Amino acid sequence: MQLAIHTGAHFSEEERLMKCLLRNKNSFSKKGVAVPGPGKYRRLIKQTLEALKTAPAAEGARDVLLDAIMDDEDADRLILSNAFFFGAPRAAVRRGILYPFAAERMAQIRKLFLDDEIEMFMALRNPATLLPAMFENSPKPSMTSYLGVDDPCDIRWSDTIHAIRNAVPDLTITVWCNEDTPLLWHQIIREVAGLELGEEIVGEFDLLNEIMSKEGMQRFATYLKSHPEMTEIQKRRVISAFLDKFALEEKTEEELTLAGWTEDLMDDMTDVYEEDMLDVQRIPGVTLIAP
């Protein structure tokens, strides 16, 4: 079986992605793609992984788990989504490493699904905005104590992805920058579902509908209808142009009030983040979806 695991990150479009997948549940099922509701597996998988810390998986554990999740649905591909798969926001950084338990969790999944093809999908968000959002959910008294390093510019996604790949060398990883998600939404959904780019999905432009004015969406729909032969690259350019003109500022702008989190610091962190994405896409087995 193909096992597609969407692992967040926190404060990206993780729940909206799950809802879009569920809207396509019936049509995906006809194509051999199972999209169980998160209530069927999130707690169950967490308990299973906790048990694996103290003892190896029992014989047949994989089949028992799949039976509980899929309700006898016949599928070649199973999609699971949980932004908490690598832990809660309060523990998402340790000693300057994002998601320090990610490699261990993916190694456990590999042991449990030993003969299955596993793919990991994850939105990577700029630490300049991600870290303050996660810190708000932490009991730590200061950002420095939460991060475990003095300089937040030292925190890089590539360290996390390298650790995961080292722990599970045969793992296929697909990532994208959360900031680019509005331009990539339709491709992301299809990639997670294992579909070809041209295949129809419900909710292809759900995210745009959330962040673009009503007038903009109406004009965008009219434009798409009058240009049915656009390539993916052309479609992204059109989306970008419409967002430039019709994006709802209150939906796309973030205000940060964290003490000491200056604009200069955020600019420096953003520069590091953009450079880090170049390192991420060079990691073997990793695909970075970009506009």
> Domain map of the chain by residue range?
2-202+258-289
Kindly give, in sequence order, each residue whose CB lies less than 8 Å from that of residue 14, ignoring residues fewer than 6 positions away: 6, 8, 81, 83, 123
3-class DSSP state of 124? strand
Cβ proximity of 70 and 45 under 8 Å: no
Q: Which of 275, 61, 31, 255 is nearest to 156 (CA)?
A: 275
pLDDT of residue 270: 96
Rounded mean pLDDT of the chain? 92
pLDDT of residue 207: 87
Dist CA 205 CA 220 (whole Å): 10
Q: Give the CATH number of domain 2-202+258-289.
A: 3.40.50
Q: How confident is the model over 203-241, as pLDDT tens digits? A: 988 889 889 999 999 999 999 999 988 888 888 899 999
Q: How confident is the model over 30-43, as pLDDT tens digits? A: 999 999 999 989 99
pLDDT of residue 255: 64
Cα→Cα distances 199→11, 96, 193, Å: 28, 41, 11
β-bridge partners, 212:
247
Dist CA 13 CA 256 (whole Å): 19
What does the DSSP 8-state code read for residue 57?
A: P
Residue 14 confidence class, pLDDT cut points 50, 70, 90:
confident
Dist CA 241 CA 111 (whole Å): 46
